[in-house]
């Protein structure tokens, strides 16, 4: 998480102001029976539908019992956007500003001073140590209930700098349809995110239809305290678990205890999750989102510090895992384009 | 976990051979509509049924939306027996014996030598450090898939010393009915056990109808490795999380991310789980199993090193949390008594 924040803050420096213009993409009339209406006809859509048909065909050789229908999705860059930096990064910077009145010393202390002065170059210069300080000072020291309220309040008011919309508007319409399609076919849909689990849980049910108990992510430690007003769980400034890279199969195993049959990611941080999924017996589905649409969303892969996609793309190509070409495969990116 | 094992091994020393005689308890004819036929009429049964009626009564002031119907159960002593020691302790001792041929040095090395010679007094004398060595040498060093196979194979052959039956026969029939009753009323039923999560997951679906992803427990760390034969998760000899006492609300928050509306335990290790449950808004149910039946099961509470019930019993009394008197409230203890 720390390294990711460092990378994302770096990137922020290179982001030029991007206009607020959003294209209204034509949504063609689709047969009502199409489970994935925002997906253009093509290899990826066909691979998804063929997979579902095969694993639900009772008596077929690829039939998968409902109890084993576990699907895992990365979040940043797979279910919602992650540019110009992970959205949790915006949250952390906003929290520094919100907390500043209680921390007069921050006016003179880096990296907080840099955040308060919107000097992103100096924030980035504070390095991993600085970013860790920002994360811990903005994510710890409160109870779990207080933090949930803080996340909800932030999401209700914060706006994405490019689109001028709430961050939760920037979820991918085709992926919402895919999540629903999987659930209609008996899947339990899970998130396996490198982002913070408690940053996800307050809103994933409302936005993705994924209940909080089906969100896996990175975490800091919490401690039980019996106060005079009752028991609380206090968030501590100490990493508990990093759910990224080789940590993703570990997190999936820890929280779910079953190997997924379906996994979708978009970056090298998802590669081990996909390898772990692929290695199970029977038919499996491994998919990647490739960000190829600078106009409607963003275009980036091998060189991007946020959501770098290099090794996982090579492995997907060599193993014939479906790769979404966002520009080609997605008729609509965000739900608001449909209006 | 380590302290629990130490306590349980101590207790093993004091256990005298107990006959194999099992009473066949008369199961009275019950109305088919009785959701809890193995529960005698009484305060606890009435409290459970009244709670379910109130939280499912739409429009009522205690109505609980289905998404928030989370029930958590301790396992050892709440869903199955835990005497003369935690059943995972029997597993560990059996594993030492099974692994002994690969460890000729164990013949001379404590606490392994003591286990191999069935010298439980010497095992206990090895203390926490010795017990930790037994746990780590029998639970780590294999892949997660190998460990799952080992647990399943052990459960298929191992017998409880008193009853001469598989350990999974020693689950409580009234609790199986309670789990089913909760699920029929929209609850997701979870285990929150001080025992090992990977010792639970291979069998809880078959025995309790609880899927592995709804088991929370103590854990050791695992590590992702990409071997020539494919990726594996290797179990490391290092504690990851102890899901006991003040760790239970932490584990529940970590894995589920919602506060339960219903919690059942049987020992002081469940107290914080019950406090955390009780502190939520709206109607909550907190219940305890009090082991009062030395004839059909065991009778123990304040003085027992396994499943000590002291502070939690006092708090239950003072807060009017229902307490099962096993002898009085349960018409049947184990499913096999019904035959």
pLDDT tens digits, one per residue of A94-141: 999 999 999 999 999 999 999 999 998 899 899 889 988 999 999 999
Chain B, nearest residue to A216 by Cα: B255
pTM for the structure as a whole: 0.90
pLDDT of B20 strictly over 50: no
Q: What is the pLDDT of residue A41?
A: 97
pLDDT tens digits, one per residue of B83-115: 999 999 999 999 999 999 999 999 999 999 999
Interface predicted TM-score (ipTM) of this complex, two decimals: 0.89
Among A144, A226, A249, the residue with its CB nearest the CB of B224 is A249
CA distance A204 to chain B (A): 12
pLDDT tens digits, one per residue of A248-273: 999 999 999 999 999 999 999 999 99
d(CA B73, CA B216): 10
Closest CA to B176 of B256, B259, B264, B52: B264
Q: Do residues B284 and B187 lie in contact, with contact meaning Cβ atoms separated by under 8 Å?
A: no
d(CA A275, CA B85): 40
Instruction: Kindly state the average pLDDT of the residues A156-175.
Output: 98
Q: What is the pLDDT of residue B26?
A: 40
pLDDT of B27 strictly over 80: no
Closest CA to B216 of B243, B178, B236: B243
Contact (CB<8Å) B224/A247:
yes
Residue A95 DSSP SS3 = helix
Contact (CB<8Å) A215/B67:
no
pLDDT tens digits, one per residue of B182-229: 999 999 999 999 999 999 999 999 999 999 999 999 999 999 999 999
Measured CA to CA in angstroms, residue B111 lies from A236, B138, B330 at distances of: 37, 13, 40
Among B188, B222, B257, the residue with its CB nearest the CB of A201 is B257
Using a CB-CB cut-off of 8 Å, the residues of chain B touching A224 are 246-247, 249-250, 272, 276
pLDDT of B290 strictly over 60: yes
Among A201, A226, A257, the residue with its CB nearest the CB of B201 is A257
pLDDT of B163 strictly over 90: yes
Instruction: Kindly state the average pLDDT of the residues A189-210.
Output: 98
DSSP-derived secondary structure for B82-109: --SS-HHHHHHHHHHHHHGGG-GGGGTS
Give residue B339's pLDDT band: very low, low, confident or very high (50, 70, 90): low
B226 close contact with A: CB closer than 8 A: yes
Q: Are strands B285-292 and B299-300 parallel, antiparallel or unpaired?
A: antiparallel
Q: Do residues A167 and A37 lie in contact, with contact meaning Cβ atoms separated by under 8 Å?
A: no
Instruction: Kindly state the average pLDDT of the residues A274-284.
Output: 97
Among B198, B211, B230, the residue with its CB nearest the CB of A67 is B211
Contact (CB<8Å) A276/B250:
no
Q: Do residues B130 and B111 lie in contact, with contact meaning Cβ atoms separated by under 8 Å?
A: yes
d(CA A203, CA A75): 12
CA distance A249 to chain B (A): 7
Closest CA to B175 of B21, B339, B329: B329
d(CA A182, CA A86): 26
pLDDT of A8 strictly over 90: no
Give residue A24's pLDDT band: very low, low, confident or very high (50, 70, 90): very low
Contact (CB<8Å) B255/A213:
yes
Token reading at B211? 């899927």
Contact (CB<8Å) A224/B276:
yes
Q: What is the pLDDT of residue B16?
A: 26
DSSP-derived secondary structure for A296-316: TS-EESTT-SSS--SHHHHHH
pLDDT of B287 strictly over 80: yes
pLDDT of B2 strictly over 80: no
* Residue B292 backbone dihedrals phi, psi, to 5 degrees: -125, 10
A223 close contact with B: CB closer than 8 A: yes
Using a CB-CB cut-off of 8 Å, the residues of chain A touching B250 are 222-224, 233
Closest CA to B190 of B219, B218, B211: B211
Among B212, B223, B230, the residue with its CB nearest the CB of A257 is B212
Instruction: Kindly state the average pLDDT of the residues B2-10.
Output: 47
Q: What is the pLDDT of residue B329?
A: 98
Closest CA to B3 of B249, B267, B288: B267
**Strand ranges (DSSP E) for chain B?**
70-73, 188-196, 215-227, 230-241, 262-265, 285-292, 299-300, 323-325
d(CA A212, CA B268): 28
Give residue A178's pLDDT band: very low, low, confident or very high (50, 70, 90): very high
């Amino acid at each position: 998480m720390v390294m990711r924040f460092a990378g994302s803050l770096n990137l922020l420096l290179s982001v030029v102001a991007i206009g607020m213009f959003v294209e209204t993409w034509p949504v063609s009339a689709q047969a009502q029976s199409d489970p994935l209406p925002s997906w253009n006809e093509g290899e990826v859509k066909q691979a998804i539908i063929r997979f579902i048909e095969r694993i639900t065909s009772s008596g077929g050789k690829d039939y998968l019992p409902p109890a084993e229908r576990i699907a895992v999705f990365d979040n940043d860059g797979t279910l919602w956007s992650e540019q110009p930096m992970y959205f949790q990064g915006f949250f952390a910077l906003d929290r520094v500003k919100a907390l500043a009145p209680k921390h007069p010393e921050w006016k003179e202390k880096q990296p907080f001073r840099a955040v308060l002065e919107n000097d992103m170059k100096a924030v980035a210069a504070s390095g991993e140590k600085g970013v860790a300080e920002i994360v811990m000072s903005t994510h710890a020291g409160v109870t779990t209930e207080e933090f949930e309220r803080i996340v909800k309040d932030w999401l209700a008011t914060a706006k994405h700098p490019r689109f001028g919309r709430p961050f939760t508007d920037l979820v991918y319409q085709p992926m919402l349809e895919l999540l629903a399609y999987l659930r209609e076919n008996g899947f339990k849909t899970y998130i396996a995110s490198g982002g913070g689990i408690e940053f996800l849980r307050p809103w994933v049910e409302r936005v993705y239809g994924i209940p909080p108990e089906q969100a896996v992510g990175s975490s800091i430690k919490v401690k039980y305290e019996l106060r005079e007003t009752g028991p609380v769980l206090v968030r501590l400034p100490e990493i508990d678990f990093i759910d990224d890279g080789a940590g993703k199969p570990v997190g999936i195993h820890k929280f779910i205890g079953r190997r997924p049959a379906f996994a979708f990611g978009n970056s090298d941080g998802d590669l081990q999750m996909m390898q772990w999924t692929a290695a199970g017996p029977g038919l499996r589905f491994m998919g990647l989102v490739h960000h190829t649409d600078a106009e409607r969303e963003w275009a980036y892969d091998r060189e991007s510090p946020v959501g770098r996609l290099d090794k996982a793309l090579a492995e997907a190509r060599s193993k014939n895992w479906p790769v979404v070409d966002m520009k080609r495969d997605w008729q609509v990116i965000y739900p608001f384009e449909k209006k």
